[in-house]
Chain A
Amino acid sequence: MNKIKSFFTSFIKKDATKTVVTSLWCALLGLILGFIILLIINARDAAFGMTSVLGNYLIFSSHSDRLNYFGQALAKTAPLIAMSLSILVCYKAGLFNLGGSGQYSIAVIIITLLGVGANMPWWFVLIIAMIGAAIWSMISGALKAFFNVNEVISGIMLNWIALYLTNGILSSNTSIWDSAHSESYRISSGSNSFIPSIGLEHVFAGNQIVGLGMILILVVVAIIYILFKKSTVGYELKATGFNPDAAKYAGINYVKNVLIATAISGALAGLAAVLNLQNGFTSWRLSSVTPEIGFQGISAAFLGGLHPIGIIFSSYFIIHISEGGSMITDLGFAPEVASIMTSVIIYLSGFTAFMKEMIRKNEIKDELNRLNREKEKKS
């Protein structure tokens, strides 16, 4: 009995558990606030609206519909995981990657030109897109390392430059641009550039957008986990992030590490575009604002406690409620209600450090009290 108890207390005291608990609190508070907003907008349908947001595909009555939309949710989760990992890698190295949208856009250009335009093999398109995005991201890294330009600002500037570049290049090329819908053509399921669905579509009621990408992203999560847990490269990145001056003093090359961090995170942002476009699910739509996914990645990364495994769950959660949000338009609610919920959740997850600190202080207090009591007993 005592053993179980001690196991349980040590489990609760673990840092990871605290992170999970605080993240769950944030998610719950965000959802409650979302519900209140729905109540204000339309009290009569609010409960049903909330069920739709939370239930997402579960509200469908047909089994195959449910499987189909579950597959769609999974397929949309994969790119978000990639984007969150991109934010994570930079964050561990002490950089904030706000340029994810730009890196994503650059990969979109490459995928559309090589995939839709030239029908290249999918793995080739994937590699080139990731390299392209990595190089774009390294502009930010180089400006930081050599000219001390704040990476947040350069990232934002590069987002806008990439946005106009993508709009300009794709829309001027009639073979890849569908001007009637002002978006680029999608990669069709028969083409060489389509990521193979390796039979997974049979599991998800014939939904072909689920495929090899699912396995790919899990492999990438594992690689990033090992990178920071076991490898020298990851250790040096973390050291640079923790204290750049101390890292320099210990002989870690600062410039090299900033470039590596931005390159990896750019490649991951490029992978997000690959997973979003090369299953024929979306394409580039003419837009006057930078793609949302770069900012969603920040939400998922922080809600996931900045841990590769946590990111899998937080990304799925964010996709789940934003997909659910798109189902409540019939009730007269704007789908952006889901976006309010996620942004409130990110806002609250900013408080996690403080919350953990409070838990720690309480523990110290308890420990001191216990010691005092023991002392009294003895005397």
Chain B
Amino acid sequence: MIITLSILSFLLAYVSVLTITALGGMFSEKSGTVALSLEGSMTIGAFSSGVAMYLLPTYLPDGLCAIIVILVAIISSGLYSLLLALACITFKANQTLIGTALNILSTALAVVIIKQITITEALPVGNSRLSFNRFYEIFNFNLFGLQGVRFNWLIFIVLALIPIIYVVIYKTKFGLRLSSCGENPSSADSLGINVNKTRYIGVILSGLFAGFGGLLLISMNAEWEFANGASGFGFLALAVLIFGQWKPLYIFLGAFIFSLFKTLSVVYPSIDFLANLGISSYFYLALPYVVCLIVLVFTSKKNVGPKALGVPYDKGKR
């Protein structure tokens, strides 16, 4: 019973991390900018909130601390995504190149700064790992009061956001305008929509959500090794976004399938039937990515992505 519940809470946490990050990426891609830097945004969210968790004094009340940490995560990664917007929207740079640069930069920044703040007398070079036991207790409560079953309440925020995002994208003026900038920016512009401004908003929103995803990811644990960045979850979210065909509900479904296999790689030793098969743990680790590739084969034939995705808007070409 306890094992089943803890597997379930693992699964839900992974689903939430991937869903919220992929939904963030959706805002960026629907407006026409490739969201390759999701990994970097997550890393920045994770790292800045990690530093906040490490530095916040213990005399502050828990609730206030939690709010500060959440705000730090989303604001820092929102600001970081401005770098992407500036290069790709204003200066029309190659979006894959800039995304890659921001992914490398985020991890390097995180490691340099964390090594700097963890320097002690005994450890003159510092360490890229941070532990935050207090916040593990704050963010994860014991489900039904059961010992050993931890449940992260940030998941509820994600679950509440999904219907809101759905409504914003499909039912509001802003959402429809956003999509029009990714489908046909010239006609959007001719109707008086400021394409570049809308794209900026899309990219910044993706940063905010990815930053939250980064916080949720590390708060599932009591410590995090920042040299690994966001452990590739940003890339997974991007894959989820593509095989979810840029639609919120499919994205949720995609995140669920993916998380199922991801959870399997963590919990398979505690499932007797799977543990007895004697298959290498690396097989289970690789499995989600293999499944993702196979799903992509079946869903990519018909290109349903935003038509102007990855193409900078040039007014002169109208």
The residues of A with any CB-CB pair to B shorter than 8 Å are 37, 41, 96, 98, 143, 147-150, 152-154, 156-158, 160-161, 164-165, 167-168, 172, 288-290, 295, 298-299, 302, 329, 332-334, 336-337, 339-340, 342-344, 346-347, 349-351, 353-354
Contact = CB atoms under 8 A, between A and B. Distances in A.
Contacts of A289: 227-229, 231-232
A315 to B, nearest CB: 16
Nearest to B96: A96
A113 to B, nearest CB: 16
Nearest to A41: B116
A22 to B, nearest CB: 12
Contacts of A288: 228, 231
B260 interface: no
B242 A153 contact: yes
Contacts of B231: 288-289
A329 B128 CA distance: 14
Nearest to A301: B97
A350 to B, nearest CB: 3
Given A289-B228, A347-B102, A350-B87, A148 B300 contact: yes
A153 B238 CA distance: 8
A157 B293 contact: yes
Contact of B87 (A157, A158, A347): A347
Interface stretch (B45-53, B138-146, B266-274, B284-292): B284-292
Contact of B101 (A158, A167, A346): A346
Given A152-B96, A347-B105, A168 B111 contact: no
Contacts of A153: 238-239, 242, 296
Chain A CB within 10 A, most for which of B104, B229, B239, B289 = B104
A98 B126 CA distance: 31
Question: Chain B interface mostly helix, strand, loop or mixed?
Answer: helix
B282 A143 contact: no
Given A150-B300, A157-B292, 6 more contacts: A340-B105, A343-B104, A347-B101, A350-B101, A351-B87, A354-B93
Interface residues of B, number: 52
A353 B88 CA distance: 12
A147 B125 contact: no
Interface of B: 36, 83, 87-88, 91-94, 96-98, 100-105, 107-109, 111-112, 115-116, 119, 124-126, 227-229, 231-232, 235, 238-239, 242, 280-283, 285-286, 289-290, 292-293, 296-297, 300-301, 303
B44 to A, nearest CB: 13
A353 B93 contact: yes
B91 A354 contact: yes
Contacts of A336: 107-108, 111-112, 115
B91 A157 contact: no
A338 to B, nearest CB: 8
Nearest to B265: A164
Contact of A340 (B112, B242, B280): B112
Contacts of A343: 101-102, 104-105, 108
A157 B285 CA distance: 12
A160 B284 CA distance: 12
Contacts of A148: 300-301, 303
B98 A350 contact: yes
A49 B300 CA distance: 49
B88 to A, nearest CB: 8
A347 to B, nearest CB: 4
A152 B101 CA distance: 15
A377 B148 CA distance: 90
Given A153-B239, A154-B296, A334-B125, A340 B286 contact: no
B239 A168 contact: no
Nearest to A332: B124
B93 A295 contact: no
Nearest to B92: A354
Chain A CB within 10 A, most for which of B105, B107, B108, B290 = B108
